[in-house]
Chains A and B, each alone.
Chain A
């Protein structure tokens, strides 16, 4: 079964760092991009960016560039989303998702279960 499994919920204080993960299984991990999508409480979906595990080629939504870092560890079949200094406005659910094809902009047909991030003092 093709699946993406994300790390568990996190609670942090403003200014702290955080790295959440997304592990793929059941397919050739290096051959498919992994996207990250933010959903703030009660709001819609926002595409943050995408990374290609084979060579770590990364494309960011300009709205998120400089605010987060995408990375990947091929040996662990895991993609990461990290913040160096969290803000309260980073509180959201974060989804990783895989395009249906080996095309960075193909429809996202496999989704992780989501990771809730709460940033509060």
Chain B
């Protein structure tokens, strides 16, 4: 099975700071990696698909990069409304399966 790790598990940063979250797979997953934001008490929201494709309507301060086993999610300038838990998610076709990373909780100082 493909295992996903995310780091850090939590972080606290100031408004305007650059925030980076990493996600690592234990085997090559090409660009089969999506990123979600989940605000407290809300359903997850898709931010980035296939490692780097920003979803329509998502602010440009969010970005993603990487391929193979190492991926990065970045918030270029943290805003108060970005307080949330962020999850990476990989998918595998054989067998068909989706796996979420453990999540990174982001707070504003």
Interface residues, chain A, with chain B CB atoms under 8 Å away: 35, 37, 44-47, 50, 59, 61, 95, 97, 100, 104-109, 111-114
Contacts and interface: CB of A to CB of B under 8 A. Distances in A.
A44 B87 contact: yes
Interface stretch (B13-21, B43-51, B74-82): B43-51
Contacts of B101: 44
Given A44-B87, A45-B87, A107 B46 contact: yes
State the majority secondary structure of interface residues on A. strand
Given A105-B91, A107-B34, A109-B55, A46 B46 contact: no
B49 A95 contact: no
Interface of B: 32, 34, 36, 38, 43-46, 49-50, 55, 87, 89, 91-93, 95-103
B93 A113 contact: no
Closest 4 CB pairs of A and B: A47-B98, A105-B91, A111-B43, A107-B49
State the majority secondary structure of interface residues on B. strand
Contact of B43 (A46, A47, A106, A112): A112
Contacts of B98: 35, 47, 50, 61, 105
B102 to A, nearest CB: 5
Contacts of A50: 96, 98
Given A47-B97, A105-B96, A95 B102 contact: no
Given A47-B99, A47-B100, A108 B50 contact: no
Contact of B97 (A61, A97, A108, A109): A61
B46 A108 contact: yes
Contact of A113 (B43, B97, B102, B103): B43
Contacts of A95: 43-44
Contacts of B103: 44-45
Given A104-B96, A107-B50, A109-B55, A44 B102 contact: yes
